[in-house]
Structure 1
């Protein structure tokens, strides 16, 4: 039979009916043919056949009822979700307004405290100078104090220097969190490490005082990424990022043009469309920075 031949062997295979006395051969199925042709185990095939025989065709009405019930269940879930979103929307908006008001109030209080601190610092400096300028020892103390304040970035600096302006192509509206790796097509390009490299390159180029986004860079001042924003001394700055560096413009330009900071900016300009402008200025003012308490470490056993 053709089925037996396809399944692995022919029952008459091996029998010789033409030669008298020839040995009778027992037909053996071909294992290779069986593996190639019979893809389902006989036990599974029998079970499937039995299941097909026992199944009864369901009516089209029953199938339609089940489909209608499933559609109603899905529609009910979506309706409940929409109703819940509409019910919570006023509360969410009110919470956002409260938080926005709190942030604005805190910013106003911080600005007011900063202005008061600057005014008191100026008043203290005037009183100090009026008391110490009368004799040689007092003048020497004032000179030493001026040097210390300059090193601590506690005094404003005015003079010629370089202005580096970096314009980000755009930032995302959602500043909650972004990857710190540049992704093709993402809107934010400039990261904290880019500004850090530019500032370090300006120091190496001979800058005497630097500010980033109007904030003086001094001891204990950091430039960090916070989600989709950049913080300088824990104060947010936004594009375009303006970096002022007081120092000899021509000498600084010669070194800064070959620095890793400017090379990084040129690479970002060519790859992502970042705007980079470097110009020399004959008169600029770098504001004073905030003065913090300096802690000194002591060795074990020292007094």
Structure 2
């Protein structure tokens, strides 16, 4: 009788792949994880969480303190710079008055000097290099008030930045006042003269490269009745009235019997050509 055939007791590779889906190592790892953590492991985990929380808390506190200190230092430097600028401007005005008084005392004694002094005064008046005073009108333009409901931004959607009053709005009003007969104009006590620009840089409004803030007060000295009549029908008036209705911009025009505007900054003349020369 033939000997029985001895078969391999180990299942074939194909059967093993079809029936044993997990490697034995995975089963061992799963069994290890399923064990409940011991008391020591729990204490170590709690201490680790507390330590990480303390580190983050100290870091946030230091960052907040640094931010507050940096903001305070910046604000203090800005205020100091404003104070120094105001003091220097006051000194400059005092020295200018002294120079003008000394010049007048030196030139007004003879006829030739008086003629030169008169010509200088006319040129300074045309250049806005001396203070102006007289009747005129005051145009006040201000940013819209902050809405109580921040979700309602329909009246403040003129552009992407926060400012609703643009530099071209102030330019339009100033140019219209010149056309209406203004003899001297200032914006927030900054005299408008030759070479003076009104422009925006980022979110700041600059007049003669000096920052000015809302409300913008435009003072114009000139014939009161004529300026009132012509400005009320000008394109600038209609423009600002429309912006007032659309974007809630503040716009007000008032008459003044006595206005004062400061002198403009006198720039150094590098070159000049007499009118009429080729």
Q: Would you say the 8 A contact 2:188–2:212 is kept in 1?
A: yes
Q: Structure 2-normalised TM-score?
A: 0.71
For structure 1, the residue ranges without an aligned partner over 5 or more in a row are 1-52, 63-75, 173-180, 299-303
Alpha-carbon separation, structure 2, partners of 1:251 and 1:212: 21
> 1:153 maps to what in 2?
128
Over residues 158-189 of structure 1, what are the superposed CA-to-partner deviations in whole Å (9 max), with x where a residue is unaligned? 111111111211479xxxxxxxx8248x7531
Give distance in 1, aligned partners of 2:230 and 2:52: 66
How many Å apart are 1:276 and its aligned residue? 1.2
The equivalent of 1:127 in structure 2 is: 102
Structure 1 residues 279, 245: closer, same or farther in 2, change over 3 A? Answer: same
Query: Residue 114 of structure 1: CA displacement?
Result: 0.8
Partner of 2:239: 264
Partner residue in 1 for 2:178: 203
Encode CA deviations 1:259-292: one digit per residue, 9 max, x unaligned. 2221221111010111211122221111111111
Match of residue 189 from structure 1 = 164
What is aligned with 2:202? 227
Partners in 1 of 2:221 and 2:169 — Cα distance? 20
Matched, 1:108 2:103: no
Query: Larger RCO: Structure 1 or Structure 2 (Cα < 8 Å, ≥ 6 residues apart)?
Result: 2
Q: Which residue number corresponds to residue 252 of structure 2?
A: 277
- The structure-2 alpha-carbon separation of the partners of 1:86 and 1:140, relative to structure 1 and needing over 3 Å to count, comes to same
Shift of 1:79: 8.3
- Indicate if the aligned counterparts of 1:265 and 1:276 stay in contact, CA closer than 8 A: yes
> Which structure 2 segments of 5+ residues have no match?
1-18, 34-50, 148-156, 274-278
What is the rounded CA distance, in whole Å, between the counterparts of 2:93 and 2:272 in structure 1?
29
For 2:55 and 2:198, locate their aligned partners in 1 and report how far apart those are by CA, in whole Å.
46
Name 1:96's counterpart in structure 2: 71
- Root-mean-square deviation over aligned CA pairs: 3.4
Partner of 2:45: none
Q: Mark the structure with the bigger radius of gyration.
A: 1
Change (3 A) 1:87 1:246: same
Tell me which of 96, 112, 116 is aligned to 1:141.
116
Give the TM-score normalised by structure 1.
Answer: 0.66
CA distance, structure 2, for counterparts of residue 117 and residue 140 of structure 1? 27
Q: Distance in 1 between matches of 2:57 and 2:145?
A: 33
**Does the aligned pair in 2 maintain the 1:230–1:236 contact within 8 Å?**
yes
1:244 equivalent in alignment to 2:239: no
Does the Cα contact within 8 Å between 1:163 and 1:243 map onto a contact in 2?
yes
